[in-house]
C-alpha cells in the first residue's frame, strides 16, 4: 500500500532515504546461520540445574516443609527455602514507586496460586533436580480460593493477598482508577438510545518458542554474570539487586536476544533465585522453564471484564460513555495495577465524547499472576469498544464506518482525561481503509481531515 | 552414569563422544559437541525448533536418542553455509524477513531443506505441509513460506 501524498502534505518530506526502503535486520545473519547466541546456548563446566517445587493448591497455608529426604538424593547440592532469600517479599514496579511489595520469591507460610514456587532444588543434573524436587514434603492446610473477579470483590470473600488486605489494588484515587468528564447521567438522559453491554476475556499465554530462563556464572571476584532472556534487563537487574540485597555493580546482566517474548518475559522471576543459587554454591546455575512451566507458570495476559454503557443520538453522535473495567491480576500485582490504569486512559477510545465516566479495577484472585502482553490494558478494551461501536451503529441503522467518522477525534478535541488531541490521524486511516477494503462511505467523510472540525 | 561411545558425522566432520545413556541427540549436539543451532523449545517433539537431518530424513533431535545415531550423517543449519556463502535457503530467509526472534529459524531451514532436496519445485501447499511441524510465534508464517518458494526458484534458475 502506498502512503497517499495528500495526507498531511504540509508535514511530509519526500527526501527520505530509509523510510519505505527494505533494510535487512541486523540480527538476521545470525539467525539464519544458527550463530545467534541465546542465553541457553552457553554451557559452563560444573553447571547446576535448578528445579522448583510448586504449590499443587490454589490457596493454602504451609504448615511445614521437610527437605531431609530430598537433601539426601544423589546429585543434590543445595536446597533453598524462603529463609534463604535476603529480601523475599518484592514487587517489580517498586522501582517506579508502585507498591506495596506483595509477592514472595519463595512462598513463606502461604501459597496463593497453583504453581507458586515454594522450594528451589539445585542438583548436578536436571534429572537429579527433578527427582529430588519430588521428594520434598510440604504439609498444606487448604484454604478457600476465589477465581472470579466479582466474587473476589464481594464482602466476605477470602482475602487473596494479605499485603493488600483487600482483593483490589488501592490507587491514590481509591479503589479504582477514575476518569470523570462532563455529566454522564445527563448525557444518558438526553440520549436517543442507551446500550449497555458486557465483554469478557480469558487469560492468554504468549507461548514463546524459547521458554523463560537464565544461566548464572559466578565470577571469581564475588560478581555474577547472568545470561538471561528477560525483556526488561534493567528492571531485572535492579529488582535482583533489591531481592539479593547486593549492589548492582556485582551483577552483570547479558541479554537482549530473546526467543520470543510478547511481554511474557518482563517479570522478574528466574534471575534472582538463580543468582542466589550461584552465590550460595559458588557454581554456575541454569534455571530454564520446561514447556509445561512456560504454559502454566509464566504470567499470561490478564482476564478482563469490561462493562460499557453508551448514550447515542439518532444522528450518530455518542453523547455519553460509562465504562467499568476489571483486570484479573491473579494473586500478585506484577504489572497489572499499571495495566488497569492504562485501561482507564484508553476506554474513551479514539472518539470525542462530551460526557465520560470510567472506573478500572485491578482485582486479586487465586489465579496465576498475570502481567504484560502486547498492549496489555488496552487490547481487550479495544476489542470491547469496537464491538460496541458496531452494535451502536446497528442500533441507529447507520453504516459502522460512517458512524466512526462522526465520532472520530480530531486535532484540538478535548479528550476525557483533559488533554487536547494532537497529531490525530484516525480520519485519514479510515479513509484509506475505506478505499483498501472497498467499503465506500459518503463523500463528505472522504473530504474530512484530522486537522480541523467542520473542514 | 553409564556412558556410551557414539560416532557420527556432523556437517561432514567426524565426531566421537561418550554420551550419557538416555541422552537425546539435541543435548549431545548442544552440550557435548557445541553445535547450538538446534534449539530446545519444548523437549517433547511438538515445536520443531530442534529439527536436524539424519541420513537425509528430517528428525526431531529432542526425541532422538544420541546412541541411536552411530554411523549416521547428521546435518544442522550451522553447517549449511559454505566458505562464508549462505545457502540459498539462508539467503532467502534473510531477504524475505522470514525470521524475527530467530529461535525457530534453524529448524525451519532444516524442514525446508529436506523438502527442496526431494521436491525442487514445490507448490505452496507442499511448502505449508513441509513446515507444518515447525512452530513460529512471530512471523505468522507467510514470509517463511515465501522464502522457501523464493529459494526453490533461485535453485532451479541456478540448475538451468
Verify that B92 and B61 share a domain, yes or no. Answer: no
Verify that B73 and B99 share a domain, yes or no. Answer: no
Contact between A31 and B78 using a beta-carbon 8 Å cutoff? no
The contact set of B with A (CB < 8 A) is 30-31, 34-44, 46-47, 49, 76-78, 80-81, 86, 89-91, 93-95, 97, 99-106, 109, 135-138
Chains A, B: CB pairs < 8 Å: 99
Residue A245, C-alpha cell as written in the block:
540485597
If you write DSSP's letter for every residue of chain B in order, what string do you get? Answer: --EEEEEEEETTEEEEEEEETT-BHHHIIIIII----S--S-SSSSS-TTEEEETTEEEETTSSBGGGGTT-EEE-GGG--BTTBPPHHHHHHHHTT--SS-SSHHHHHHHHHHHHHH-SS--HHHHHHHTTT---SSS-SHHHHHHHHHHHHHHHHHH-
Verify that B19 and B73 share a domain, yes or no. Answer: yes
Contact between A43 and B34 using a beta-carbon 8 Å cutoff? yes
**Domain residue ranges of chain A, discontinuous segments joined by +:** 47-143+207-296, 177-204+300-421
Verify that B35 and B99 share a domain, yes or no. Answer: no
- For B75, list phi and psi in degrees, rounded to 5: -120, 135
Residue B131, C-alpha cell as written in the block:
513446515
CATH assignment, A177-204+300-421: 3.30.365.10
Reported as a pLDDT band with limits 50, 70 and 90, residue A453 is: low
Does the domain at residues A47-143+207-296 carry the CATH identifier 3.90.1170.50? Answer: yes
Preferred mutation among B50, B53, B103, B106 to probe A, highest tally of A CBs within 10 A: B103
Verify that B110 and B149 share a domain, yes or no. Answer: yes
Does the pLDDT at position A75 exceed 70?
A: yes
Rounded to two decimals, the pTM is: 0.95
pLDDT of residue A1: 54
Domain edge (last residue) among B23, B52, B79? B79
pLDDT of residue A10: 85
CATH number at residue B102: 1.10.150.120
In which residue ranges of chain B is pLDDT below 70? 1, 158-160
**How many domains are there within chain B?**
2
pLDDT of residue A220: 87
**How close are the terminal C-alpha atoms of chain B, in Å?**
54
Distance from the B125 Cα atom to the nearest Cα atom in chain A, whole angstroms? 23
Verify that B54 and B98 share a domain, yes or no. Answer: no
Does the pLDDT at position A350 exceed 60?
A: yes
Q: Find all residues with CB under 8 Å of A6, minimum gap 6, and list them.
A: none
Find the domain containing B93 and state its range: 88-159
Verify that B8 and B75 share a domain, yes or no. Answer: yes
Distance from the A63 Cα atom to the nearest Cα atom in chain B, whole angstroms? 35
Nearest to A184 by CA among A316, A383, A353: A353
Verify that B52 and B111 share a domain, yes or no. Answer: no
What is the strand order of the sheet A356-364 is part of? Answer: A177-181, A356-364, A318-330, A304-312, A193-201
Verify that B56 and B14 share a domain, yes or no. Answer: yes
Domain edge (last residue) among B79, B106, B128? B79
Percent of chain A beyond pLDDT 90? Answer: 93
Domain edge (last residue) among B18, B48, B79? B79
Nearest to A228 by CA among A45, A91, A41: A41
Residue B118, C-alpha cell as written in the block:
526431494
Q: Radius of gyration of chain A from Cα atoms?
A: 26
Q: Which of the 8 DSSP states describes residue A408?
A: B
Give the pLDDT confidence of A209-219 residue by residue, as tens digits. Answer: 999 999 999 99
Distance from the B106 Cα atom to the nearest Cα atom in chain A, whole angstroms? 6
User: In terms of CA atoms, which chain A residue is nearest residue B92?
Assistant: A32
Amino acid at each position: 500500500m502506498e502512503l497517499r501524498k495528500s495526507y498531511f502534505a504540509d508535514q511530509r518530506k519526500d527526501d527520505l532515504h530509509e523510510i519505505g526502503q527494505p533494510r535487512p535486520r541486523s540480527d538476521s545473519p545470525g539467525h539464519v546461520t544458527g550463530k545467534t547466541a541465546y542465553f541457553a546456548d552457553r554451557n559452563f563446566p560444573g553447571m547446576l540445574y535448578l528445579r522448583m517445587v510448586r504449590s499443587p493448591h490454589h490457596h493454602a497455608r504451609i504448615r511445614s516443609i521437610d527437605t531431609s529426604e530430598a537433601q539426601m538424593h544423589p546429585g543434590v547440592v543445595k536446597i533453598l527455602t524462603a529463609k534463604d532469600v535476603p529480601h523475599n517479599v518484592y514487587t517489580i514496579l517498586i522501582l517506579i514507586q508502585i507498591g506495596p511489595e506483595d509477592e514472595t520469591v519463595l512462598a513463606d507460610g502461604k501459597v496463593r496460586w497453583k504453581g507458586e514456587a515454594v522450594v528451589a532444588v539445585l542438583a548436578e543434573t536436571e534429572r537429579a533436580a527433578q527427582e529430588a524436587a519430588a521428594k520434598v514434603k510440604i504439609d498444606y492446610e487448604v484454604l478457600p480460593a476465589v477465581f472470579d473477579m466479582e466474587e473476589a470483590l464481594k464482602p466476605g470473600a477470602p482475602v487473596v493477598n494479605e499485603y493488600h488486605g483487600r482483593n483490589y489494588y488501592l490507587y491514590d484515587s481509591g479503589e479504582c482508577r477514575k476518569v470523570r468528564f462532563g455529566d454522564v447521567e445527563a448525557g444518558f438522559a438526553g440520549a436517543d438510545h442507551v446500550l449497555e453491554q458486557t465483554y469478557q476475556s480469558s487469560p492468554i499465554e504468549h507461548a514463546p518458542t524459547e521458554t523463560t530462563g537464565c544461566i548464572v556464572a559466578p565470577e571469581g571476584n564475588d560478581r555474577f554474570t547472568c545470561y538471561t532472556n528477560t525483556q526488561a534487563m534493567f528492571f531485572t537487574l535492579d529488582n535482583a539487586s533489591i531481592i539479593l540485597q547486593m549492589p548492582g555493580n556485582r551483577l552483570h546482566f547479558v541479554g537482549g536476544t530473546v526467543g520470543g517474548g510478547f511481554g511474557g518475559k518482563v517479570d522478574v522471576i528466574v534471575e534472582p533465585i538463580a543468582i542466589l543459587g550461584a552465590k550460595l554454591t559458588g557454581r554456575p546455575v541454569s534455571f530454564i522453564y520446561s514447556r509445561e512451566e512456560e504454559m502454566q507458570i509464566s504470567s499470561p495476559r490478564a482476564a478482563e471484564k469490561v462493562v460499557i454503557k453508551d448514550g447515542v443520538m439518532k444522528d450518530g453522535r455518542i453523547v455519553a460513555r460509562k465504562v467499568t473495567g476489571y483486570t484479573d491480576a491473579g494473586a500478585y500485582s506484577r504489572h497489572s495495577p499499571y495495566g488497569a490504569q492504562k485501561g482507564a486512559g484508553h476506554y474513551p477510545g479514539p472518539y470525542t465524547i462530551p460526557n465520560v465516566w470510567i472506573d478500572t479495577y485491578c482485582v486479586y484472585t487465586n489465579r496465576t499472576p498475570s502481567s504484560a502482553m502486547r498492549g496489555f490494558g488496552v487490547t481487550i478494551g479495544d476489542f470491547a469498544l469496537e464491538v460496541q461501536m458496531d452494535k451502536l451503529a446497528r442500533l441507529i441503522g447507520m453504516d459502522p464506518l460512517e458512524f466512526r467518522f462522526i465520532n472520530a477525534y480530531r486535532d484540538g478535541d478535548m479528550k476525557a482525561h483533559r488533554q487536547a488531541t494532537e497529531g490525530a490521524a484516525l480520519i485519514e486511516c479510515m479513509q484509506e481503509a475505506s478505499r483498501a477494503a472497498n467499503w465506500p462511505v459518503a463523500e463528505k467523510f472522504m473530504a474530512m481531515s484530522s486537522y480541523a472540525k467542520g473542514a | 552414569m553409564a556412558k556410551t561411545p557414539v560416532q557420527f558425522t556432523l556437517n561432514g566432520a567426524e565426531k566421537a563422544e561418550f554420551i550419557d545413556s538416555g541422552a537425546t541427540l539435541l543435548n549431545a549436539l548442544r552440550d557435548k559437541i557445541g553445535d547450538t543451532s538446534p534449539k530446545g523449545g519444548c523437549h517433547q517433539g511438538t515445536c520443531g525448533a530442534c529439527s536436524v537431518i539424519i541420513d537425509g530424513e528430517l528428525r526431531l533431535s529432542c526425541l532422538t536418542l544420541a546412541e541411536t545415531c552411530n554411523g549416521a550423517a547428521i546435518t544442522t543449519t550451522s553447517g549449511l553455509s559454505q566458505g562464508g556463502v549462505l545457502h540459498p535457503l539462508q539467503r532467502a530467509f534473510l531477504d524475505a524477513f522470514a525470521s524475527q526472534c530467530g529461535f525457530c529459524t534453524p529448524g525451519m531451514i532444516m524442514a525446508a531443506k529436506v523438502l527442496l532436496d526431494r521436491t525442487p519445485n514445490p507448490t505452496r501447499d507442499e511448502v505449508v505441509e513441509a513446515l507444518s511441524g515447525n512452530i513460529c510465534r512471530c512471523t505468522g508464517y507467510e514470509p517463511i513460506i515465501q522464502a522457501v518458494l523464493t529459494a526453490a526458484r533461485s535453485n532451479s534458475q541456478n540448475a538451468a
